[in-house]
Amino acid sequence: MKATLSVAALLVTLAARGGRSDELPPVRRATLDNGLRLVVSEYHELPLVEFYVMVGAGAAQDPPGKAGLAALTATTLRRGAGSLSAEALARAVDSLGGRLDATAGIEATVVSAEFLAKDFSTGLDLLTTPSSSW
């Protein structure tokens, strides 16, 4: 289910960028040793790297008495990174020409980001360093 949603989101994104459905690049799948499933599709017409991370924990998995936990968690992902405040994180992402979003749905929480290919490593570092000031 998660892999299907990842592919669907990717295909919608590529289609929205002007590619016809019969021109979509092939999709490759892999599972890492830690169980993380990857769904990759390369499209080299634009110098962008865009990704979606889907975690199978949405509002439907909120514990009894803790409604909104998934939404709160998604919101905190945008509240800073490392020593950066929410505002500083937003400025850092903007300075790279990037985009960052995190939303909780019913069945999953989705973190998505887009950066220029040349800035992908820097952008990824921002996303993988959680804030210590939450």
Residue spans per domain, the chain: 1-46, 47-128
pLDDT above 50: residue 11: no
Token pair in block for residue 42 = 């390369």
List Cβ neighbours of 105 (8 Å cut-off, separation of 6 or more): 58, 59
What percent of the chain clears pLDDT 90, i.e. is strictly above it?
28
Q: Classify strands 37-41 and 27-31 as parallel, antiparallel or unpaired.
A: antiparallel
Q: Decide yes or no: CATH 3.30.830.10 for domain 47-128.
A: yes
pLDDT above 60: residue 10: no
Please return the burial class of 93, using the count of CB atoms within 10 Å of its CB with bins 0-12, 13-18 and 19+. buried
What percent of the chain clears pLDDT 70, i.e. is strictly above it?
80
What mean pLDDT is predicted for residues 91-104?
A: 91
Token pair in block for residue 16 = 């929205």
List Cβ neighbours of 33 (8 Å cut-off, separation of 6 or more): none
